[in-house]
């Protein structure tokens, strides 16, 4: 657990280890959601960039996917048919 200090301007700086945990770097954005019990949830914002997909399909200990398999998964995702059987 990390404790952060609020500045006189009402700002908080996230430490490097927290940013690394979120997978964000300089110039990238995070989202903050206010939860009903007074907590907040901080997440990396969806970038819409292809680099945000790197590693998404990788399964630890699983077989590697071929380019054709990756293309089919991408095609299904873009068509809105992801997860549906033919």
The one-character DSSP state at 50 is G
Looking at 14-18, 21-25, 44-48, 67-71, which range is the least confident one?
Answer: 44-48
The CATH number that applies at residue 10 is 2.10.260.10
Residues 6 or more apart whose CB falls under 8 angstroms from that of 41 comprise: 32, 33, 35
Mean pLDDT score of the chain, rounded to an integer?
81
Tell me, rounded to whole angstroms, the distance of Cα 78 from its chain centroid: 19
Domain that holds residue 78: 55-86
Using a CB cutoff of 8 Å and minimum separation of 24, what contacts does 80-83 make? none
Rounded mean pLDDT, 17-43: 91
Task: Name the residue among 7, 32, 8 with its Cα closest to residue 18.
Answer: 32
Statement to judge: residues 59 and 85 lie in one domain: yes
Query: Which of 51-55, 68-72, 75-79 shows the lowest mean pLDDT across its residues?
Result: 51-55
Number of folded domains that form the chain: 2
Average pLDDT (57-68) is 73
């Amino acid at each position: 657990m990390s404790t952060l200090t609020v500045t006189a301007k009402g700002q908080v700086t996230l430490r490097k280890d927290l940013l690394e945990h979120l997978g964000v770097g300089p110039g990238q954005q995070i989202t903050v959601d206010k939860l009903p019990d007074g907590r907040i949830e901080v997440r990396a914002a969806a970038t819409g960039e292809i680099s945000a997909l790197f590693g998404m399909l990788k399964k630890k200990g699983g077989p590697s996917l071929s380019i054709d398999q990756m293309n089919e998964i991408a095609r299904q995702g873009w068509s809105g048919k992801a997860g549906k059987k033919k």
